[in-house]
Chains A and B, each alone.
Chain A
């Protein structure tokens, strides 16, 4: 029995290590290439040494920061994504709360609408959206990156599902203490709902950090350029040196990596709960 167990353990660790290494090898190659001098990157591609930088240096990273304003583009993305998230957390949580705990006319209609619009493909409406932005004078402004994406049916639904589980007795107790419904929400409900806020935060962050098509349409200059647009532009701009390109890719992955490390638990829970409840 123990022999069988040891064998199982060995198979588990050796198998997973091999598969995991193959699985992440493109990313290892990206980082390894970003540390190599240009002439070394495509040398010895057919040997395992391509994954190990022998003459590692940060020169490519220095070149990226010399050629483009990487800090600004990361800052731009962080800024608009965080503003979207903060507004999303407020606007959608109060709406989800109303749908979970209040009685009002049109509640069922709104709920049906929210659920059916959850699968709405935003790509289908981007043309009139673009026109709308132009009419509002919002092209190439923060507003065009932020405002259309604040209200989100998915977030409303997630918040509603969470708030449904909050016991009514708690709300009644607050009301007996003289709390109005609005104050009850902000002072009683919000403080005990950290999990759902953290989950939406990280799901939103990942989704919007990846934004590509919409910024491509509404952002025209360098002023508001997002990180994804920046690396895409850098990829196509001369001189095409692959070392700096790989460095730019690596840099742009860092903010999301950090976010993931800190909020991993909520992200995993968020993904899992969408699957089980959905």
Chain B
């Protein structure tokens, strides 16, 4: 008897406990997602929110003809493909540098992590100033000239603008992944290293035969979250380049913002958003599948 009363009161409590989260998720995650899909099939313009006309696959047809859309896809993928390995390797290198029980390690850890504690907007503004294309007012060009190299256009040159954003983003973000790697490195037991060294493995060999295999799951996880994060690139181009020069840093999310809020083509922007969503979700599902399959 007592048991059934408990079960009933437990069920009641459960529904009370999940209610706020479920209502909020439904209202601000599920509902707008469905609306994205709905608007994607309309000619919704933000200036006339009361006249929304269904237009079938027009937006998607237009999208595939839209050169700017494909440039945004290309830029987003370019950023992702370069920043992910660069940032991951940098993070792993930093983690290896300080995975030691020596005193004062926490100071170095804090140093490598510090760009992460500074917000992306701060970092983006700072680097915009540092990337100034003149050696007289740009810190990095002054350095290049000092080293006897040619000054670089950085953000002003369509050839180097995205690479400049990649370099800065990896610097800002590596601290986060480094923390995950550090935790992963602690999970590898000292015995494994000892065994490797008894077998005659040097530092480099034990890195490849002990460290890397031991970190496999962590690396997969880090790559996955970095890919998803990279696909959402917006703040850096917004603050640093406004998508330029010559569209070289205009990303998918930037394009959604531009179409929806500056050009007011809400329906069209929703179509872009829907495609963006499909790309991100298939990437993350794909990576999860690969991880599971192993």
Contacts and interface: CB of A to CB of B under 8 A. Distances in A.
Interface of A: 9, 12-13, 15-17, 19-20, 23-24, 26-27, 29-30, 42, 45-46, 50, 90-92, 94-95, 97-99, 102-105, 107, 110, 113, 117, 119-121, 123-132, 134, 147-151, 153, 156, 175, 180-182, 185, 206, 209-210, 212-213, 216-217, 228, 231-232, 235, 242, 245-246, 249, 252-253, 256-257, 260, 268, 271-276, 278
Contacts of B281: 119, 121
A102 B28 contact: no
A275 B145 contact: no
Contacts of A15: 97
Closest 8 CB pairs of A and B: A272-B183, A128-B35, A275-B180, A151-B24, A45-B142, A95-B21, A102-B14, A124-B277
Q: B interface, by DSSP: helix, strand, loop or mixed?
A: helix
Given A180-B13, A271-B180, 13 more contacts: A13-B104, A26-B115, A26-B127, A50-B142, A104-B10, A123-B253, A124-B33, A156-B21, A213-B257, A228-B119, A253-B119, A275-B184, A275-B218
Interface string B5-36: 01101110111111011101101110111011
Contact of A175 (B6, B111, B143): B6
A2 to B, nearest CB: 15
B11 A46 contact: no
Interface of B: 6-7, 9-11, 13-18, 20-22, 24-25, 27-29, 31-33, 35-36, 39, 49, 97-98, 100, 102, 104, 107-108, 111-112, 114-115, 117-123, 125-130, 135-139, 142-143, 145-146, 171, 176, 179-180, 182-184, 187, 218, 221-222, 225, 228, 231-232, 234-235, 238-239, 253, 256-257, 260-261, 266, 269-270, 273-274, 276-277, 280-281, 284
B87 to A, nearest CB: 14
Given A16-B108, A274-B180, A27 B118 contact: yes
Q: A interface, by DSSP: helix, strand, loop or mixed?
A: helix
Contacts of B232: 121, 123
A104 to B, nearest CB: 4
A95 B22 contact: yes
Nearest to A120: B29
Contacts of B137: 42, 45
Contacts of A19: 97
8 contacts: A23-B112, A29-B139, A45-B138, A94-B20, A104-B14, A151-B28, A249-B118, A271-B176
A97 B108 CA distance: 38
Contacts of B222: 275
Contacts of B10: 102-104, 181
Nearest to B127: A26
Contacts of B6: 175
B133 to A, nearest CB: 13
B126 A127 contact: no
A147 B269 CA distance: 24
B280 A276 contact: no
Contacts of A121: 228, 231-232, 276-277, 280-281
Contacts of B28: 129, 132, 147-149, 151
B145 A46 contact: yes
Contacts of B16: 94, 182
Contacts of A128: 31-33, 35-36, 39, 270
